[in-house]
Structure 1
């Protein structure tokens, strides 16, 4: 915990220290609270896919639940959104879009002219983009902070929402990203909006990539149909610190130039790196200044959603639509490393939406149509393949030696991570659709459906 974060924590929790205590004892008590906050933060869920952004929970999770079993609480949420819950201390934050679906056929037609996904598009006639705060212990909705009310609203794909990017939370601050509709920083103690920043882009099917924090930077991916760049804002002010354009893309068709990937931050080859996949390219940047470190041409894939994972100097990523592959690239190169550092490729039921999961010397994926695959890290040897059924958007999680897969129809399949036969531990059904990747904290699973947020615990 940085000194600034410590100060924020002390300010947030000063009311928990008795005013009748002597000054020194109050200070010691506050420091003890701050020390426990460090542990709480380590066990929290600060961003998309949790601490480190690769789907590994430091805490176990429940294995059995239903609508009537092991539900600690269930809270209906206003609006719609596929963003994951993020957790710090006793606060859970999600974003949501309060929509009015009243656009006329002519309005919809004018927004979808020429789009490949026109028949699967939706258009809101009015929109309020919000951050919601819930009490982790009770599920009570504590805050509903309106961040943006855009007047120029674009279409989204029917599988997307206007609030799909997951926010990032740290001591005293929540950072929200709604793609073209704006970025905002919220004081988590008061609910005050500290800054807003709008960077327009054409998504065609709505926003998707989530922000990441690196030191004092909020890093964002803007891979639109019209422009493609990665940028970092000063998390204290929202001002641009750096912006780097993406490499040139072969295709001139706007639909084939867009992407929705969230960067992964990792350390390899003696340097911190930020890798993010886009149309045609995966690129690694110096997260401090946006300098390109290396790039690799993965083919003609586009609309990449899965977040890359990294370990032992290798990045594993999805190539996106239309012929998805899982690809491995060494992260110790410089410049264009297409011919030298792309070391493995696999078409075994590669996903276009759920992110991969690294567990030791194995890589697990689930296809959009529900086929789970476990490969060794050569990507050549199949350990197991299992048809779990349903359709998948949420990314799998590892918790307590178990792997959790969540389908859109509300079913969670729990597998033994160490099993060579994909042994099923349990299957658990809830009402509603699961589009958002859940969060784990203190032995409980926080699962968002299209209508509610559940706290599940045994």
Structure 2
């Protein structure tokens, strides 16, 4: 179990609660959840400092950069680490080295975390537009943009060939939330 925040990245034994390791990293305030590829842990934060890190299983910081991914969580696909920062910039790094492979301005603002499904990343922005792009490190390859409702603040849930997305429809006192299921035939 790994927790980020208070200028630390800390690993605990989930069975006993004993601290396994702790390093000075990230920022005082973080929202995103640390993620792993099975060999390394990745985390990011952004207030008041900014940092994205790759840490090995022993708690050694392998790489670090000054990218701020505050609200959305990072996501790993194969050898690549992807991030969508709040202001709409998508990043792709080599997960092992932290080398930036590409970055792309998506437009819009984001609080939802990206998800990977069938080799593609899906992430909705605050205006209800879901951006779909290939989970590849060679370059940014947009597949589609789809708008559902007026807004979307939540991450997509994946179950088999179905995607579930909570959207907002309407404005002000007339706003209601709906759960949408998108199914691949």
- Corresponding residue to 2:148 among 414, 427, 430: 430
Select the structure with the greater relative contact order (CA < 8 A; seq sep ≥ 6): 1
Rounded Cα–Cα distance in structure 2 between residues aligned with 1:284 and 1:437 = 25
Rounded Cα–Cα distance in structure 1 between residues aligned with 2:69 and 2:167 = 21
Rounded Cα–Cα distance in structure 2 between residues aligned with 1:430 and 1:312 = 34
1:315 aligns with 2:41: yes
TM-score, with normalisation over the residues of structure 1? 0.37
* Structure 1 unaligned residues grouped into runs of 5+: 1-273, 334-340
Query: How big is the shift at 1:419?
Result: 5.7
- Name the structure 2 match of 1:345: 64
- Name the structure 1 match of 2:158: 440
Alignment of 1:53-64 (within 5 A): none
Query: How big is the shift at 1:311?
Result: 2.4
- Name the structure 1 match of 2:10: 283
- Name the structure 2 match of 1:100: none
Rounded Cα–Cα distance in structure 2 between residues aligned with 1:434 and 1:398 = 18
CA shift digits 1:37-66 (9 cap, x unpaired): xxxxxxxxxxxxxxxxxxxxxxxxxxxxxx
Q: Tell me how many residue pairs correspond in the alignment.
A: 175
CA shift digits 1:271-308 (9 cap, x unpaired): xxx11112111111110110111101116x22211111
Rounded Cα–Cα distance in structure 1 between residues aligned with 2:15 and 2:156 = 30
TM-score, with normalisation over the residues of structure 2? 0.88
- Name the structure 1 match of 2:167: 449
Rounded Cα–Cα distance in structure 2 between residues aligned with 1:363 and 1:306 = 14
Rounded Cα–Cα distance in structure 1 between residues aligned with 2:128 and 2:29 = 25
SS at match of 2:104: strand
Rounded Cα–Cα distance in structure 2 between residues aligned with 1:323 and 1:449 = 32
Structure with bigger gyration radius: 1
SS at match of 1:329: strand
Query: How big is the shift at 1:326?
Result: 0.8
The structure-2 alpha-carbon separation of the partners of 1:312 and 1:441, relative to structure 1 and needing over 3 Å to count, comes to closer
Alignment of 1:200-239 (within 5 A): none
CA shift digits 1:189-236 (9 cap, x unpaired): xxxxxxxxxxxxxxxxxxxxxxxxxxxxxxxxxxxxxxxxxxxxxxxx
Query: How big is the shift at 1:312?
Result: 4.2
> Moved runs in structure 1, 4+ residues, more than 2 A?
none
Answer whether contact 1:284 1:292 (CA < 8 A) is retained.
Answer: yes
1:367 aligns with 2:94: no
- Corresponding residue to 2:20 among 293, 303, 315: 293
Answer whether contact 2:28 2:49 (CA < 8 A) is retained.
Answer: no
Answer whether contact 1:298 1:319 (CA < 8 A) is retained.
Answer: no
Rounded Cα–Cα distance in structure 1 between residues aligned with 2:160 and 2:19 = 38
Root-mean-square deviation (Å): 1.5
